[in-house]
Structure 1
Amino acid sequence: MGTSRDLFFLTILLFSSILFVELSSVPDPSFYDYLRESGLPAGIVPKGVTDFSIDVKTGQFTVTLPVPCDAKFENQFHFDYNISGILSDGRIGNLSGVTQKELFLWFAVKGIHVDPESSGLIHFDVGVADKQLSLSLFESPRDCTAAGSKPKTVDLSRSRDLKKQSGDIQSIFGPPRNRWTVSS
């Protein structure tokens, strides 16, 4: 009959096998899990992430969607095929691949952060402006409808884009007119 030593090693071997099976069946974290872990809502990226990579030391990430798409929150957002940035505690910096529509203009979203005072707000940095929306809008990932082409964006940090945009606005409404006429 086996000794207690043999029984001990058999128990350890059995326990190790069970632990290995349980650990190997745990799914890898999704990109949405990384967002939540960083204090951001999962819904800032739409449903359908097909692939992602993240450097957990630097926070540098790339997310791949099946197609460029649009999603409506309070405002309309456009997501490119690839989205990249740097993920840190409660924020994403150096963001590319996301644009937001305000009135009839599209703005590149350069960063996202959650208000640290628990005000329930999330901020979208579009250069010199900061758009605040309710955090509850982004609790879970939304469906995203395929988009035809990437919208033309305005970079508010570059005066050349501002001048061009004002020219575009003028072309929509026609040439400037003198509203006051003087009759003699």
Structure 2
Amino acid sequence: MAHRLLLIVLAASILHTASSATVYDVLQQNNLPRGLIPQGVTSYVLHPDGHLEVTLPGECNFAITVGGSPYKFRFDSKFVGLIKSGSISEIKGVRV
């Protein structure tokens, strides 16, 4: 009985640790910069096949300048992509 209880506690601890990872941790684990996704993510789902669904509290618009050229970004409140080590593809809900 004590072994079963220990196993349950260990499994719950592992699940809690896994679920406490943020989407920014997922980016880093896939060799991507944390700043690739705007701050304020309210939730995300990472599917086993690498598809990532991200929810923001609302639409996010911002601009950056790279090499003297301005770029405007728009993230819908929900956007998706396929994350692999070093890349995100099949992105929907983000415009540049």
TM-score for the superposition, normalised by structure 2: 0.74
Identity %: 29
Find the aligned partners of 2:73 and 2:57 in 1 and give their Cα distance.
Answer: 16
- How far does residue 99 in structure 1 lie from its aligned partner after superposition? 1.0
Residue of 52, 60, 74 corresponding to 2:51: 60
Preserved CA contact (<8 Å) 1:79 1:99:
yes
Counterpart residue identity of residue 66, structure 1: P
Q: Counterpart in 2 of 1:44?
A: 36
Cα deviation, 1:135-166, whole Å, max 9, x if unaligned, reads: xxxxxxxxxxxxxxxxxxxxxxxxxxxxxxxx
Number of matched residues? 88
Q: Counterpart in 1 of 2:60?
A: 69
Which structure has the higher relative contact order (CA within 8 Å, separation 6+)? 2
Q: Which has the larger radius of gyration?
A: 1
Gapped regions of structure 2 (runs ≥ 5): 66-70
Gapped regions of structure 1 (runs ≥ 5): 1-9, 101-184
Cα deviation, 1:46-68, whole Å, max 9, x if unaligned, reads: 01111111113x10111011100
TM-score for the superposition, normalised by structure 1: 0.41
Q: Counterpart in 1 of 2:26?
A: 34
Counterpart residue identity of residue 88, structure 2: I
